[in-house]
Amino acid sequence: MITLYTSSSCSSCRKAKKWLDINKIPYKEKNIIGIKLTRNDIINMLKYSENGFEDIISTRSKVFKESEIEPDSMKFSELANFIIDNPTILKRPIIINDQIMQTGYNKDEIRAFIPRELRNISLCTDECTDCEYKERVENALARAKSS
């Protein structure tokens, strides 16, 4: 299942949600402003990152600039607590499944979240009436929703 960390004021978050909805890919949304992030959320974000906190912290955020924190000199627990207390420091959206993480919305890279069994076939739309792949697509989507 895809987890999508968002905020309601984020246009990239709205684009990511729209893309997932259009492509009928199920996801669980976590609005970082509406919920309190947990240490497990932070660990989940970092699990597939290549550069650790650097991949999820927005150095352009107002919170980052005003706090003058030095992430490289902080312990994991200190930085995780800072993010939990100041979730707007995170890049958005953060999109995670059981294999990859993506920050921000990129219309080409987000295709990595299409379930593997659908990547090599065309995604059908509701208007599709004579498509040899339609049944395969519907079956794959049903499997993806149930997992």
Matching residue, tokens 């909805």 = 21
124 is catalytic: no
Q: Which of 10, 124, 128, 131 is catalytic?
A: 10
Q: CB pairs under 8 A, 24+ apart, for 131-139?
A: none
Bridge partners, residue 90, by sequence: 57
Q: How far is CA 10 from CA 1, 44, 88, 108, in A?
A: 22, 21, 11, 19
Catalytic residues: 10
